Amino acid sequence: MRRMSALSPAPPLSGPAQERARRARLRLTDLRASRTLTVLAWIGAAVIVITMGSVGFQVIRGASEAIGRFGPLFAFHAAWIPNLNKLGGLSYLYGSLVTSLVSLVFATILGVSIGIFLALLAPRPVANVIGPLVEMLAAIPTVVLGLIGIIVISPFSAHTLEPLFHGVLGWTGLFGAPAQNGASLFTASLVLTIMVLPIISALSRDIFRTVPQELRDGAEALGATRWEMIRGVVLPTTVSGITGACVLGFARAMGEAIAVTQVVGNASLIHANLFFPGTTLASAIANQFESPQNSLTESALYYLALILLIVGVLTSIVSRRIISRGAKLT
Amino acid sequence: MSVSETTTDEFDDTLIAEPDRSAPARIRLSPGPTRRPTPEPAAPAITRQIVFDARGVWVDYGAKRALEDVTMTIERNLATALIGPSGCGKSTFLRCLNRMNDSIPGFSVGGELRYHGHDLYGPTANRVEVRRRIGMVFQKPNPFPKSIYDNVAWAPRNLGMKDGLDERVERALRGAALWDEVKDRLKQSALGLSGGQQQRLCIARAIAVEPDVVLLDEPASALDPIATASIEDLIHELKLRYTIVIVTHNMQQAMRVADRTAFFSLDENRTGALIEYADTKTLFSHPADSRTRDYITGQFG
Ligand SMILES: Nc1ncnc2c1ncn2[C@@H]1O[C@H](COP(=O)(O)OP(=O)(O)OP(=O)(O)O)[C@@H](O)[C@H]1O
Ligand SMILES: [Mg+2]
C-alpha cells in the first residue's frame, strides 16, 4: 500500500504533509501493538511458570508426610489398607499405565487410520462430513462418556469381547472371567480410547495435510500406489508429529479421572487379567480425596498425584526426544 | 549442448534400425486389443514409432474448459517441447500423459489419448502402471526427505526391483550426470543438495525405474544458467534412451533441446488449444500461424 501510494501520483486530497502524518500514525500504532504483544507474552510466560511451580510445590508439600513415611518405594508397594497405614501406589500406577497404554494402542491404530483417510483418501465432501463428527466426539463431556461406558461398553466388554479374546488368546492370561457388572481395566481402556481417538485423529489429519502435494505427486509419478505413497513418503515425514499427537493422547488418558472411575471398578488390585476391576492414579484421587480416612492417607493421595505428575513430565521429555530425533532425520 | 540436431537424427535412425529394445509386447497396459496407429500423412520419411497419439483431446476443470481439441503424435526417442503463454494448458496436457491429473477434483478428460496404441484412459488402463512407464519431473525439485541413495532406490524397491540395487542407483545417478558430485555422500539427506542437484536427483529418481518416457514440466525454471545448461545437456543424453516431452517457457531452451515443438495458446474464450506443431527448426524459422509468429517474436499480448 505504502509503496503504491509513493509510486502513483498523490491523490488530490492528500499532500505530502498528510502523507507524513499518516505514516507517523501508522508507526505509532505499530509500536503500541508490538509493545502490548510483548507484555502479554511475558505475562503468559509468567503465569505458566507460576502455575507449574505452585502445582509442584503444593503437591510435594501435601505428599511430604507420606514421602517421609514410605520413601520412594511407595510407588512399588501394592497394598492400600488405610486402617493399617499400609499404603502403596503400585496398583494405581499399574492401572493408569495399563489403561493408558491399551487405549493408546487402540486409539493410535484407529486415529491414524482416520487421519490418513480424512487427509489423503476421502473425497472432499465425505471428509467435510466426517471431520466435524470426529471433532464433535471430543466435545462429549467425559462424565457422559462414562455413562455410556456403564450402560453400553461394560456389558459389551464383559459378555462379548472377553469370551472372544479368551477363546483365542486365553493362554496369555490377559483375559479371564470378568466381573459381573463389566467394570474392568479393559472397559476403562475402551472408554479412554473413545476419549483419545478424536485428539489423535484430528491432529494426525492436520499433520498429514501438511505434507506438500509436490512430495505426494513425486511418489505417485514414480508408479507408487496410494498406499505405497502413504507408507513410503507421508508416514516417514510425519512420524515425529504423529508421535507428538500420540503423547498428547497418552497424557489425556493418564489424567482422566471421572469417566475411568465410572467403569474401572475401583479395586486396588494388580492382576494380569485385563477384565478384572482395577483402579488408576487419577480416579483414586478423585474418588478418595473427599473423605480420606486419616491424614496419612490424604498425604498418600498427594503422593499419587506426584507420581502422576512425574509420569506426565517423563512422557513429555521422551516425546521431545523422539520429535527432535525425527526432525534431524528429515 | 553442442549435439546438433543432425547427429541426433542419425543416432536415432540407427537406433530404430536395431531390433526394437522395447517392442510393444513389453508395453501392455491392458489386456485389450492392440491397435497399431496408422502413420500421419505428414509423417517424415523415416517412420518413427509413435508413443503418444492424441486425437481431439480436451480437458475440463469443473465447468471450465482448460484445453480444447488437441491432436498430435509424440514420437519415440525425440524430445518434444510444449511452449506457449502461461495458462494455455501445457502442464495440463503434459499431466494427462501420465494421468497425474486424475486426483484433481473436477478434472475430466475426453477425446482419445493413446500410448503405444493403448487407450490411456480406457477402462482397463492402470494408472499406476502408466506412471511406472511414464516418469515425470516437476517444475520445483521435490526430493523426498530421505538420503540421496534412498531417493533413487525408493521406487525400484517399491516395484520389487531389488536385485543389483546399488548398481541401479549408480546407473541412474550417472545417467542424470550427478554421480560424481554425490558418490561420497549417498547416505546424506537429499535436502542438502543445491537446487540444480536436487533437480538432477529427481531426474535420476525418474530414470531409476527405466521408464519409457520422461515428462519434464519446466524442469529448469527454478535454476541458474549453469544448472540449466547441465539439465539441457542431460536431456540430449536422455533422449537417446527415452522419449522426452518437455514444457518450457524459454524458447531458446526449446530450440536447444527439442526436435519437435508444439505451440499452445489461448483462444477467445481463454481455452487452451494447440496452434501449431512442427519440427523445432521449422516452427521457429517459418511459423505457419500468425499467432505462433507473434509469440516467438515476442509480440504476444
Ligand atoms: N488444479 C486445477 N484446478 C482448476 N483449474 C486448473 C488447475 N490446474 C490448471 N487449471 C487451469 O487450467 C488452465 C491451464 O493451466 P496449466 O497449468 O495447464 O497452464 P500452463 O500452460 O502450464 O501455464 P504455466 O505456463 O503458467 O505453467 C489454466 O486456466 C488454469 O487456471
Ligand atoms: Mg505449467
Give B23→chain A minimum CA distance, Å. 21
B100 contacts in chain A (CB < 8 Å)? 217, 220-221
A124 contacts in chain B (CB < 8 Å)? 105
Find the residue in B nearest to A226 (Cα): B128
Q: How far apart are CA A123 and CA A117, in angstroms?
A: 9
Best B131, B139, B151, B210 member to test A by mutation, with max A CBs in 10 Å, is: B131
Q: In sequence order, which residues have a C-beta less than 8 Å from that of residue A317 and are 6 or more positions away?
A: none
For chain A, the residues whose C-beta falls within 8 A of a C-beta of chain B are 123-124, 212, 214-215, 217-225, 228, 232-233, 236-237, 329-330
Q: Is there a contact between B158 and A228 if contact means CB atoms under 8 Å apart?
A: yes
Output the CA A319–ligand 1 centroid distance in Å. Answer: 42
Average of per-residue pLDDT across B84-88: 92
Class of A77-329 in CATH: mainly alpha
* The residue to which cell 450402560 is assigned: A151
pLDDT at residue B225 in the model: 87
Output the CA A106–ligand 2 centroid distance in Å. Answer: 44
Q: Which of A307, A301, A261, A278 is nearest to A87 (CA)?
A: A301
Q: Is there a contact between A221 and B100 if contact means CB atoms under 8 Å apart?
A: yes
DSSP state of A265: B
Average of per-residue pLDDT across B222-228: 84
Of the candidates A124, A222, A330, the beta carbon closest to that of B145 is on A330
Ligand 1 nearest-atom number relative to CA B82: 21
Q: How far apart are CA A152 and CA A149, in angstroms?
A: 6
* The residue to which cell 517444475 is assigned: B139
Pocket lining: B250 vs ligand 1, CB cutoff 6 Å:
no
Output the CA B129–ligand 1 centroid distance in Å. Answer: 25
What does the angle CA A41 – CA A46 – CA A48 come to, to the nearest 5 degrees? 95
B205 contacts in chain A (CB < 8 Å)? 218, 222
Best B103, B161, B201, B207 member to test A by mutation, with max A CBs in 10 Å, is: B103
Pocket lining: B108 vs ligand 1, CB cutoff 6 Å:
no
Q: Which of A264, A261, A283 is nearest to A274 (CA)?
A: A264
The sign one gets for the Cα dihedral A33, A38, A44, A47 is: negative
Q: Is there a contact between A214 and B191 if contact means CB atoms under 8 Å apart?
A: no
Pocket lining: B154 vs ligand 1, CB cutoff 6 Å:
no
DSSP state of B18: S
Evaluate if residue A171 carries a pLDDT over 80.
no
- C-beta separation of B239 from B261 below 8 A: no
pLDDT at residue A16 in the model: 77
Q: Which of A78, A95, A96 is nearest to A87 (CA)?
A: A78
Evaluate if residue A4 carries a pLDDT over 70.
no
DSSP state of B24: G
Average of per-residue pLDDT across A245-256: 91
Residue ranges in A230-275 assigned as alpha helix (H): 235-255, 258-264
B189 contacts in chain A (CB < 8 Å)? 329-330
pLDDT at residue B17 in the model: 35
Q: In sequence order, which residues have a C-beta less than 8 Å from that of residue A86 and are 6 or more positions away?
A: A77, A79, A80
B41-57: per-residue pLDDT in tens? 454 556 778 999 999 99
* The residue to which cell 503423547 is assigned: A247
Q: How far apart are CA A20 and CA A14, in angstroms?
A: 10
Give A215→chain B minimum CA distance, Å. 6
Q: How far apart are CA A315 and CA A144, in angstroms?
A: 28
Q: Which of these ranges, A39-43, A270-274, B108-112, has the smallest mean pLDDT?
A: A270-274
Q: CA-CA distances (angstroms) from residue B38 to A71, A176, B43, B58, B245?
A: 90, 74, 10, 22, 21
Q: In sequence order, which residues have a C-beta less than 8 Å from that of residue B60 and are 6 or more positions away?
A: B66, B106, B107, B108, B109
Best B95, B128, B150, B212 member to test A by mutation, with max A CBs in 10 Å, is: B128
- C-beta separation of A158 from A184 below 8 A: yes
Give B288→chain A minimum CA distance, Å. 35
φ/ψ (deg, to 5) at B44: -65, 170
What is the CB neighbour count within 10 angstroms for residue B181?
16
Would you give the end-to-end CA distance of chain B in angstroms? 31
Q: What is the CA radius of gyration of chain B?
A: 19
Q: Is there a contact between A215 and B158 if contact means CB atoms under 8 Å apart?
A: no
Evaluate if residue A79 carries a pLDDT over 60.
yes
Would you give the end-to-end CA distance of chain A in angstroms? 39
Q: Which of these ranges, A21-25, A311-315, B280-284, has the smallest mean pLDDT?
A: A21-25
Give A330→chain B minimum CA distance, Å. 5
Note the pTM of the prediction, 2 decimals. 0.78
Residue ranges in chain B assigned as alpha helix (H): 5-17, 90-97, 127-133, 148-158, 165-175, 179-182, 195-207, 225-241, 251-257, 280-285, 290-296
Using pLDDT thresholds of 50, 70 and 90, give the confidence band for residue A14: low
Q: How far apart are CA B197 and CA B56, in angstroms?
A: 38
Give B264→chain A minimum CA distance, Å. 24
A150-170: per-residue pLDDT in tens? 999 998 988 888 888 888 877
Q: Is there a contact between A222 and B142 if contact means CB atoms under 8 Å apart?
A: no
Output the CA A101–ligand 2 centroid distance in Å. Answer: 49
Ligand 1 nearest-atom number relative to CA B94: 18
- C-beta separation of A220 from A212 below 8 A: no
Evaluate if residue B64 carries a pLDDT over 70.
yes
- C-beta separation of A107 from A198 below 8 A: no
Domain ranges (residues) in chain B? 50-141+213-296
- C-beta separation of A5 from A19 below 8 A: yes
CATH assignment of B50-141+213-296?
Answer: 3.40.50.300
Distance of CA A247 to the CA centre of its chain: 6
* The residue to which cell 516395484 is assigned: B159
Q: How far apart are CA A266 and CA A185, in angstroms?
A: 9
* The residue to which cell 488418558 is assigned: A253
Best B29, B142, B205, B217 member to test A by mutation, with max A CBs in 10 Å, is: B142
Output the CA B90–ligand 1 centroid distance in Å. Answer: 8
Of the candidates A218, A223, A228, the beta carbon closest to that of B144 is on A218
What ipTM score was computed for the predicted complex, to two decimals?
A: 0.78
- Residue whose Cα lies nearest atom 14 of ligand 1: it is B89
Q: Could you tell me the three cell numbers for A123?
A: 473425497
* The residue to which cell 509419478 is assigned: A221
User: Chain A to chain B, count of Cβ pairs less than 8 Å apart?
Assistant: 68
Using pLDDT thresholds of 50, 70 and 90, give the confidence band for residue B8: very low
- Residue whose Cα lies nearest atom 16 of ligand 1: it is B89
Using pLDDT thresholds of 50, 70 and 90, give the confidence band for residue B23: very low
Q: How far apart are CA B133 and CA B27, in angstroms?
A: 8
What is the CB neighbour count within 10 angstroms for residue B261?
28
Which ligand has the nearest atom to the CA of B217? 2
Instruction: For residue A201, give the H/E element and its range.
Output: helix A185-209
Q: Is there a contact between B145 and A223 if contact means CB atoms under 8 Å apart?
A: no
Q: Which of B58, B90, B101, B267 to mutate to test the pocket of ligand 1 (most atoms within 8 A of CB)?
A: B90
B142-175: per-residue pLDDT in tens? 999 999 999 999 999 988 888 899 999 999 999 8
